[in-house]
Amino acid sequence: MSMTITGATEAGDTVTYWVIYDDGSVGRIEITNGQQEPALSKPGRLVSEVEYQERLDELRAEQERRRAERAAEDEARTRTDYLALRAAGVPEDTARRMSGYTGPAIDPDES
């Protein structure tokens, strides 16, 4: 059964545009039945899909680098807290729970 709505038009082809904004972020805009390029919501420029993908890959690599950096900082902090608790005579299991340290057991006298 086909239904027609008065005033409605059938959807046409979808056109995809890729954007790199001046702040370094990226965007993908899909327009259906569009006859002209989209207006951007903030300063930037339309780019090829290849250029968009290259910038997106850069952003993802930077995000992963920052994630790894935060993980290393967290590991160093929990290790320091664990060692301080162990040096104060706190039992290992309790020191692990209190500090969040999950690495190998460390003798506080040898660190």
Helices (H) and strands (E) in the chain, counts: 2, 3
For 106, the token pair is 């460390």
Question: Model confidence over 33-60: pLDDT tens digits?
Answer: 777 889 999 999 999 999 999 999 999 9
Q: E strands within 7-94?
A: 14-21, 26-32, 44-47
Question: Model confidence over 3-13: pLDDT tens digits?
Answer: 666 765 666 78
Place of tokens 């027609």: 4
Q: E strands within 4-87?
A: 14-21, 26-32, 44-47
pTM of the entire predicted model: 0.67
